[in-house]
Structure 1
Amino acid sequence: MFGSMQRGVNAYAKVGMETSVISASPHKLIVLLYDGAITAIKNGATHMAAGNIVEKGAAISKALDIINNGLRASLDKKAGGEIASNLDSLYVYMTERLLMANLQNKTALLDEVQTLLVDLRDAWTQIGEKPAQAPSMSHYPVMASA
């Protein structure tokens, strides 16, 4: 009569994700991209183990899309210099490993890429957790009392 409960849950999750994206800082958006790619790879591994070929392919394709059209596309190679260049190379490597995992049904390759993404996500999260430092009071002259 009212549709499936799963559809309602999916709609609620989609609204929650859209709200997160709209209100997120650029830093948080990168974390969301990492989270999305990690989740897609986990789903791909689950479908691979269950023999669900179509779902496995869709999940891995989603991870590839996030890596290439989200993470790689957001790199600013001029401003980021060597770090951005190295990340770009790492994302290319991840793409190749995911394609091989899909073709050869190797969960170990999915695990490898997932580990790399988790490490990058953790590092990115730690960068964002550092509070902006206020200028040290030692830079200001001390007022003499009268």
Structure 2
Amino acid sequence: MVINNPYAQYKENSVFTATPEELTLMLYNGLVKFILQGINAIEEKNIKKANGCLIRCQDIITEFRATLDMNYEISKSFDSIYEYMYRRLVDANIRKDKAILEEVLGYAKELRDTWQEAMKLAKRGR
């Protein structure tokens, strides 16, 4: 596939060359971005756009859950968190409820920031 847009080409290359840790961070950033877009769409009463954004959020959470290594106890804790976030996203999508999205946004930002900090600590330890 030929991509003429330099930004799209850069984005595609960054995904293909990213480490697993960086890909996880990209997913967290995408989750935050799509929740914010969902909130804006609800405020604008754009139901179709809100639905699309929230479906993308649900897909990201599904990916997080699918990639957990359940041989570790912490993975079970993350699975519970992701399951809760997923259910709340479904509720928010059904009700088009901004308050629920703001709750999930808080969790998503906290997870993203924690992941980012863990990446920095791991890099220093090398």
TM-score normalised by structure 1 residue count: 0.78
Partner amino acid for 1:62? Answer: R
1:31-50 equivalences in 2 (<5 Å): 31-50=25-44
Aligned residue-pair number: 121
Question: Which of residues 87, 110, 117 is equivalent to 1:126?
Answer: 117
Percentage of pairs with the same residue: 32
Unaligned runs of 5+ in 2: none
- 3-state SS in 2 of match to 1:43: helix
Question: Which of residues 95, 98, 101 is equivalent to 2:86?
Answer: 95
Q: Could you tell me how far apart the structure 1 residues matched to 2:7 and 2:79 are?
A: 30
1:74 counterpart = 2:67: yes
Deviation at 1:12, TM superposition (A): 4.2
Partner amino acid for 2:88? Answer: R
Q: Could you tell me how far apart the structure 2 residues matched to 1:12 and 1:71 are?
A: 29
Residues 12 and 64 of structure 1: is their aligned pair in 2 closer, same or farther, counting only changes over 3 Å?
farther
Question: Which of residues 117, 130, 133 is equivalent to 2:108?
Answer: 117
* Structure with bigger RCO (C-alpha 8 Å, 6+ apart): 2
Q: Mean Cα displacement is larger for which, 18-27 or 58-67?
A: 18-27
Deviation at 1:39, TM superposition (A): 0.6
Aligned position for 1:22: 16
More helix by share: 2
TM-score normalised by structure 2 residue count: 0.90
